[in-house]
Amino acid sequence: MSKNNKFSLATWIFIGLAAGVAVGLLFIQNPDFATQYIRPFGTLFLNLIKFVVVPIVLFSIAAGVVALSDIRKVGSIGGKAIIYYLCTTAFAVLVGLVVSNLFKGGYVLLDTSSLEYEAAPAPSIVNVLVDIFPSNIIAPLANATMLQVIVVALFFGFGIIAAGEKGLPAARAVESLNEVFTIIMAFIIKLSPIGVFCLIVPVVAVNGPMILGSLAIVLLAAYIAYILHAGVVYSFIVKTFGSLNPLKFFKGMLPAMMLAFSSASSVGTLPLNIDCTKKLGAREDIVNFTLPLGATINMDGTAIYQGLCTVFIASCFGMTLTLTQILTIVLTATLASIGTAGVPGAGMIMLAMVLQSVGLPVEGIAIVAGVDRIFDMGRTTLNITGDAACALVVTKLESKKDAKKSASN
Ligand code: ASP
């Protein structure tokens, strides 16, 4: 795609988003129309994305591993990415906790006696770990269990490298399939402006009046924390470790951020995020490897949300958190965000795990559940932006390492 086209896609997505908000406001009195007749087209668009995302993750990670052609290189890139993910996510939980504490005065003590929330069982930490490894090869692909798809892709890639000469046909097949699915993905990305419009209209129509309600303060706190994290942490990271102007970074990321905002799905945004990150100058093999990984395990927005809501829910129940509880929240929210699937609403289910870890009532989720989608749109936007920043930073670090190596040879 030429530079002009890139600009026009971003503009079109923005038009889709703005028009969607305007039309959504018109339907506030009649949200049923929006949910019955407009949302299905948004769902159709998301279906198309979901259909392409499993092969994209499978083949791009496998092709990424094969392209690196050396298991040590995979380890070097993967190691850097995972350290980045863990540090930024733990920091994000802290941002959520601090901002939420600043806004605590505005939270009201609620009458929580009538709360009913059937919490979906949150998996234990050990189960999250065990479930990463699939016991069969088809199920992860069929059910789009992303962490397991990544494991399949990694084994596949490693197998191809280890097979040497005999693995070459498989390497070529993976490369070719990666290309084919990238082209299919490009077609689907072109539909983004319409998809964004159809996704945002029902959200605004249904939630419009509620935004004005009592949850406004905690939503505001969440968005301030999201913006702070992006504006300060990511700007600092891309500038310092990626030698990239932050403004250029956010401008290049805009199409993916707008799609993340309206779809609330990191996995659904993955194809467009890959596109934006490559255009910003990240190395293709690194993007293909770290972005699908990040879409699944790196969720700074979700971590912020979990830290922030824990303080909010504690306040609603008239409880104050101790230092030990705060440290427990940092640890569990980091792990919970890793275990969160990159799909709408997943972060709210994992919030149960965080609340349970510090003995807070899981029913508290009911307070925030009604507006979860609005939290989700912001946290997903942050989630995917963090993944892109990581790919750019790792690109820079790897190229420095390669330059040093060739200088010493
Ligand atoms: N919707 C988020 C994402 O896809 C996950 C979450 O619910 O926090 O990144």
- Kindly report, residue by residue over 99-113, the tens digit of the pLDDT: 998 888 777 655 555
> Given pLDDT bands bounded at 50, 70 and 90, which one contains residue 91?
very high
The ligand 1 atom at the shortest distance from the C-alpha of residue 372 is: 7
pLDDT of residue 37: 92
In angstroms, rounded to a whole number, what is the distance separating the alpha carbons of residues 77 and 70? 11
Between 193 and 395, the more confident residue is 395
Q: List ligand 1's pocket residues with C-beta within 6 A.
A: 264-266, 299, 302, 340, 342-347, 376, 379-380, 383
For ligand 1, mutation pick of 343, 349, 365, 385 (most atoms within 8 Å of CB): 343
> Given pLDDT bands bounded at 50, 70 and 90, which one contains residue 206?
confident
> Given pLDDT bands bounded at 50, 70 and 90, which one contains residue 88?
very high
Please check whether residue 171 is in contact with residue 66, taking contact to mean a CB–CB distance below 8 angstroms.
yes
> Cα 237 to the chain's mean position, in Å?
18
| pLDDT at 115 exceeding the cut of 70 | no
pLDDT tens digit sequence for 300-356: 999 999 999 999 988 888 888 888 888 888 888 887 787 677 777 778 877 877 887
Q: How does DSSP assign 92-151, residue by residue?
A: HHHHHHHHHHHTGGG------TT----PPPPPPHHHHHHTTS-SSSHHHHHHT-HHHHHH
Between 54 and 339, the more confident residue is 54
The tally of CA atoms less than 13 A away on the side-chain side of residue 236 is: 5
Q: What is the mean pLDDT of residues 178-182?
A: 86
For all residues of the chain together, what is the average pLDDT?
Answer: 85
pLDDT of residue 384: 97
**Quick check: pTM over 0.85?**
no
Q: 348 C-alpha to center of ligand 1: Å?
A: 9
pLDDT of residue 109: 59
For ligand 1, mutation pick of 296, 300, 351, 383 (most atoms within 8 Å of CB): 383
| pLDDT at 263 exceeding the cut of 60 | yes
Q: Which residue owns the Cα nearest ligand 1 atom 3? A: 342
pLDDT of residue 3: 43
Q: 84 C-alpha to center of ligand 1: Å?
A: 19
For ligand 1, mutation pick of 309, 334, 376, 387 (most atoms within 8 Å of CB): 376
In angstroms, rounded to a whole number, what is the distance separating the alpha carbons of residues 211 and 383? 22
pLDDT of residue 223: 96
The ligand 1 atom at the shortest distance from the C-alpha of residue 383 is: 9
In angstroms, rounded to a whole number, what is the distance separating the alpha carbons of residues 312 and 100? 7
Q: 171 C-alpha to center of ligand 1: Å?
A: 33
